[in-house]
Structure 1
Amino acid sequence: MAAGLAAAQAADGLEGDWTARITLKDGRQINAQMQLQSAGGTWRTLLQSPADPCVGIPIPMLWRRVDSGVYELHFQSSKALTGCRDNLVTFQQLDAGTLRGRSDAGAEIVLTRR
């Protein structure tokens, strides 16, 4: 079953390197990088925060196709550092190289294939 899931994800074409632009509710923007493979990947926000050790560290993630052009990305921050909060974000595919989603905190995330 896992091999079938990985093969199905590979056919969806999200594997590769992505850049992210995160727009917070107050309008500030933060950049991040993401690398996806068929079984998951890594996310890293390009920002360090002395107030939040969970920001700026490499975070493991999983992804899956929910429907045509709809994907869920599961950011597993708790696996990178105890006490960090996991997030599940649903993304809509805008075109072959762009996805857009919104975090539960209201931040808009736009992913662009590199």
Structure 2
Amino acid sequence: MRRSSWRAAACAGMLATAAGLAAGQAADGLEGEWTARITLKNGRQVDAQMQLQAAGGTWRTLAQNPGDPCVGIPTPMLWRRVESGVYELHFQGSKALTGCRDNLITFQQLDAGTLRGRSDAGAEIVLTRR
């Protein structure tokens, strides 16, 4: 095989591998826009929005609390797949505002567009893909 043929074959192989990896990541990933319904222990419900990219994103609760400046500010976050249908989301409140706490919550996938998790404070969080 001539050198240019080898080069073309190698490029085609790399493209096929990259396409396969990208397809696997897209099926496994959480990239995109999400809405959240947070049900607090007292039964009160609060909504939030989340935008995720490859491994990170932004979370914002659609509520304000005059006594807590950490509520309602855009909060950076990271996410990772732990196993099939299980994801960890790391809410990095300390990066949004000094004194805000970070949270690590594990979410179970209920179906293709829904995840459910529970915070350490006992709030249930249901994420729905938009």
Give the TM-score, by structure 2 length: 0.80
The C-alpha deviation readout for 1:16-49, integer Å capped at 9, x for no partner, is 0000000000000000000000020000000011
Deviation at 1:12, TM superposition (A): 1.2
Give the share of equivalent positions with the same residue, in percent: 88
Q: CA deviation at 1:13?
A: 2.6
Q: Distance in 2 between matches of 1:102 and 1:87?
A: 11
Give, in angstroms, the shift of residue 8 of structure 1.
6.8
User: What pairs with 1:9-28 in structure 2 (closer than 5 Å)?
Assistant: 10-28=26-44
Residue 74 of structure 1 pairs with residue 86 of structure 2: no
Higher relative contact order (CA 8 A, sep 6+): 1
Structure 1 match to 2:110:
94
Change (3 A) 1:9 1:53: farther
What CA distance in whole angstroms lies between the structure 2 residues aligned with 1:18 and 1:61? 13
Residue deviations 1:44-88, cap 9 Å, x none? 000011000000000000000001000000000000000000000
- TM-score, normalization: structure 1? 0.91
Specify every segment of 5 or more residues in structure 2 that has no aligned partner in the other structure, as ranges.
Answer: 1-21
User: Which structure has the greater CA radius of gyration?
Assistant: 2
Give 5+ residue unaligned stretches, structure 1: 1-5
One-letter code aligned to 2:121: A
CA RMSD of superposed structures (Å): 1.6
Task: Say which structure is richer in helix.
Answer: 2
Ranges of 4+ aligned residues in structure 1 off by more than 3 Å: 6-11
Q: Does 1:85 align with 2:95?
A: no
Is 2:74 aligned against 1:58? Answer: yes
Partner amino acid, structure 2, of 1:17:
E
Q: Do the aligned partners of residues 78 and 7 (structure 1) sit closer, same or farther apart at CA in structure 2, a change above 3 Å counting?
A: farther
SS in 2 for 1:57: coil
Q: Report the more deviating stretch, 7-16 or 97-106.
A: 7-16
Aligned length: 109
